Chains A and B, each alone.
Chain A
């Protein structure tokens, strides 16, 4: 990873703000989820605009020109159009060249790492050196604002990374899926409204089972142990899922959390966490990050990310 960027929409929504819309309160939300605020798109903002802005920053941060990009993958479930993909419109907006693979991936909260794995494969098959992978969502337009068990959880945002192919090592990943409807958003035109519905207990069980096993699978493939890892970044769905897994894996001090600031931003949460770590000076050149995403599908994806970011400007 040689470049990183992010974009947040303009409207900050605190727990107190939500308590005016649904029967909830700050203590309930923060104790049970770790979330204190999240951002919703304001007038003129959308999933696409956030994703394009995050990508632009990541390319600038990588100090390369957009025409150097050899593959564009966007992970999202909330793009502005079903077709064209967000990736195609991002390509056009940033002047990225035409004869390269450009597509969206629907792997929900595991999407950023699924996208990272897909980009690595694309670079191998299609040739090329630099891949742009973005995770971004506008979940605020897919929420049932009368369901206090879900609407407090999610937020909008986008995070982007530029990867450079490493000819010396292969990307180590662990991808999987356990098909089922425990997290669902019905498609446009369905009899029921297109909003996020979730079986929280089942998802919690799934997550706390699959996170440690996926992290361990990646470590094994990379022939590393937790001691070799500088940071663990889990998809930010619920602070308690992360705490549970941190305890189980040992080394809880390596598990980064920023869910308090953004809520669950699905495919955006992992690059948003990496971005904050970078800006806070925690993420340094040469570090190894073990990342894991999990969510709708139910999908999961673990990956080892080698950080080669420049000094923060």
Chain B
């Protein structure tokens, strides 16, 4: 999944400002995502690119970059 696609998934799921979605953006503080938002985002990512992030792994991810790097490392 390229960054633009991930960005679009994040904007659609969290209904946040596109400009705010940067690699460094914090999911909780900058994008206002709580734990249920994270689960929704996770499901949307899985639907979009087929990679399922375990919920406990996602719990450790703080930024958009963390997710992007995980998806890069686990891409088929």
Contact = CB atoms under 8 A, between A and B. Distances in A.
Q: Is the interface of A mostly helix, strand, loop or mixed?
A: helix
B55 A201 contact: yes
B73 interface: no
A204 B40 CA distance: 9
Contact count band on A:
10 to 19
Contact of A200 (B36, B40, B43): B36
B10 to A, nearest CB: 16
A61 B35 CA distance: 43
Contacts of A32: 34, 36
Nearest to B55: A201
A208 B43 contact: yes
A202 B35 CA distance: 11
Interface string A60-85: 00000000000000000000000000
A240 B34 CA distance: 12
Interface string A211-250: 0000000000000000000000000001010001000000
B44 to A, nearest CB: 10
Contacts of B55: 201-202, 205
A32 B55 CA distance: 19
B39 interface: yes
A201 B40 CA distance: 9
A201 B34 CA distance: 11
Contact of B43 (A202, A205, A238, A240): A205
10 contacts: A200-B36, A201-B35, A201-B38, A201-B55, A204-B36, A204-B39, A205-B39, A205-B55, A238-B36, A240-B36
